Amino acid sequence: MNSSARIFGLLAIPVVLLILLYAAETRPGYFTNFNYLGGLLLLEIMVIAIWHYERWYFALLILSFLWAGSNLPMASAGNVVRWVFLAAGAVVGLVKWGKLERRQHFGAIHFIALLCVLSAAVSSMVSSRTEMALLKALSLFLLFLYGSCGVRVAMAGREGAFFRGLLAACETVSYLSAFMYMVLGFEVFGNPNSLGAVMGVVIVPILLWGVLISEDRNIRQRRGLALCLAAYLLFFSLGRAGILAAAVAASILCLVLRRQKLFLQGAFILIFLVTVVAVVQPAKFDGLVSSFTEDVIYKGKPVDQGLLGSRKSPWKQTADVIRESPWFGSGFGTDMVSAPTAWDSNFRTVEEGNREHGNSYLALVQFVGLAGVIPFAVLLGLVVGRIVRVSNSIWRTADPRNYALPLLLVCIAGLVHAVFEDWLFAVGYYLSVFFWTMVFLLFDLQVRPAEQPVAYASGVPPASIAARPVPLTAHQ
């Protein structure tokens, strides 16, 4: 089968070249039009990505969403490209999942996810922007379909390669981000909250896990440096939600691995550095404390408004909208506001069309109402339940080499971060795509409970066999 596919590929190359030469001769205008050339390039990338679906498609999908949500050149083109990648990835993933010999079956989370899509579609009917709300519900369906099938195919039988690639990608993002922010002064992620979200929810937790499992000294030092840079960028962003998410994820990591010493060491190092700065440069320390209090703790709001002063206003506005339409909401992903329509509004929500909610869960209640939020609440309850179950399993083995651990950290950090930012069900945001793919993967990975074997090979003690964590898929 592989030989036939290679022969077909080799024969197809000259045929395609002849067709392109004929088209260039008869329709030269097609090859001078930027849109046609861009479409042809996208088609070529799509064919290559589908051809190597298991190895490259997940990375290209995340890159397309990251590109569209960044300040990189031609980011507006990425607004269209990301949906093409998501739709193709979902459909092709479903086909490839059906061809797997030992495919995982659908479970409760996949059924509830489908109900969430139906709830979002129903709420769209009451929206003042029905077309936009239906498109957002469709994007949610494509994301859940890709998480249920496509990303499963990407990891099936190649868990080691998948997570090695994930660690390498996080290292690359950390180094490139540090270079752009600290050397070039280019804010690639746009606003500081996005920088804090990426570093706090994804990069810092995964790199922390990567440092713990590194056996080679050079690799550990390289990942440690990337972790330090990511932590610096996290504090540089002054994003309270990202800092809190990373702190909670790191604390859970130390707890489930029973690494209280590591937790105390981290706290001691932080306190020691703060003390050194206070003793050596007291004036600068006072400035840092004042800046930290004003910019991070109170976000520039008056002290008498409390720690959540910057969130009270959007939370109150969202609560008012919920009271106006409590049962079916304002329509999934849309607000009851009037705003101009941009030329690309079918692929990107115009900035004036939505306002800040300051909380993903409040925003969801506003979008779908108290009736429509029920399946979403069940979905989040399943995620929390899986987090508790996986945490208990990892705590029993206390071995960080379990592939479910980085997924666990991302899920915990994401749920905490969503309390202060409204991105959890905003499919167009790259963090939402990454988070939900990790959630679906977490439901496919679990740890084999420690068992005392009856018989074992000579020279291998029972304890070492029982303590070895083995990632398993759901059907195992």
Residues 8 and 55 in one domain: no
Residues 19 and 128 in one domain: no
Cβ-contact 58, 437 below 8 angstroms: yes
Q: For position 268, what pLDDT does the model report?
A: 67
Report which of 399, 385, 364, 394 is spatially closest to residue 439, judged by C-alpha positions. Answer: 385
User: Is 457 a domain residue?
Assistant: no
> Into how many domains does the chain fold?
2
Q: For position 341, what pLDDT does the model report?
A: 41
Residues 95 and 7 in one domain: no
- Which residue range forms the structural domain that includes residue 26? 1-30
Q: Which residues pair with 472 in a beta bridge?
A: 446
Residues 25 and 76 in one domain: no
Residue written as token pair 């020691």: 272
Q: For position 470, what pLDDT does the model report?
A: 42
Sign of the C-alpha dihedral computed for residues 360, 364, 367 and 369 taken in this order: negative
User: Is 464 a domain residue?
Assistant: no
- Main-chain dihedrals φ then ψ at residue 104, nearest 5 degrees: -75, 140
Residues 368 and 422 in one domain: yes
User: Is 118 a domain residue?
Assistant: yes
Per-residue pLDDT for the chain (476 aa), expressed as one digit of tens each?
A: 455 555 655 555 666 566 656 565 566 655 555 555 555 666 677 777 788 888 888 888 888 888 887 777 766 666 778 888 888 888 888 888 877 766 677 888 999 999 999 998 888 887 777 788 888 889 999 999 998 888 888 887 778 888 999 999 999 999 999 898 888 888 888 788 888 889 999 999 999 999 988 888 898 899 989 998 888 888 877 777 888 899 899 989 988 888 777 767 666 666 665 565 555 556 545 555 555 555 445 444 554 545 454 555 665 666 666 666 666 677 787 765 544 444 344 445 544 445 566 788 888 888 888 888 899 999 999 999 999 999 998 888 888 888 889 999 999 999 999 988 888 888 888 899 999 999 999 988 754 333 333 333 333 333 333 334 444 433 33
Type of residue numbered 230:
A
Distance CA 151, CA 473 (A): 13
User: Is 458 a domain residue?
Assistant: no
Three-state SS annotation for the chain: CHHHHHHHHHHHHHHHHHHHHHHHHHCHHHHCCHHHHHHHHHHHHHHHHHHCHHHHHHHHHHHHHHHHCCCCCCHHHHHHHHHHHHHHHHHHHHHHHHHCCCCCCCCHHHHHHHHHHHHHHHHHCCCCCHHHHHHHHHHHHHHHHHHHHHHHHHHCCCHHHHHHHHHHHHHHHHHHHHHHHHHHCCCCCCCHHHHHHHHHHHHHHHHHHHHHHCCCHHHHHHHHHHHHHHHHHHHHHCCHHHHHHHHHHHHHHHHHCCCHHHHHHHHHHHHHHHHHHHHHCHHHHHHHHHHHHHHHHCCCCCHHHCCCHHHHHHHHHHHHHHHHCCCCCCCCCCCCCCCCCCCCCCCCCCHHHCCCCCCHHHHHHHHHHHHHHHHHHHHHHHHHHHHHHHHHHHHHHCCCCCCHHHHHHHHHHHHHHCCCCCCCCCCCCHHHHHHHHHHHHHCCCEECCCCCCCCCCCCCCHHHHHCCCCEECCCC
Residues 8 and 48 in one domain: no
Residues 6 and 66 in one domain: no
Distance CA 388, CA 384 (A): 6
User: Is 74 a domain residue?
Assistant: yes
Residues 194 and 260 in one domain: yes
Cβ-contact 416, 441 below 8 angstroms: no
User: Is 466 a domain residue?
Assistant: no
Q: For position 112, what pLDDT does the model report?
A: 93
Residues 10 and 142 in one domain: no
Residues 25 and 133 in one domain: no
Q: For position 409, what pLDDT does the model report?
A: 94
Residues 62 and 9 in one domain: no
User: Is 84 a domain residue?
Assistant: yes
Residues 25 and 123 in one domain: no
Q: For position 173, what pLDDT does the model report?
A: 92
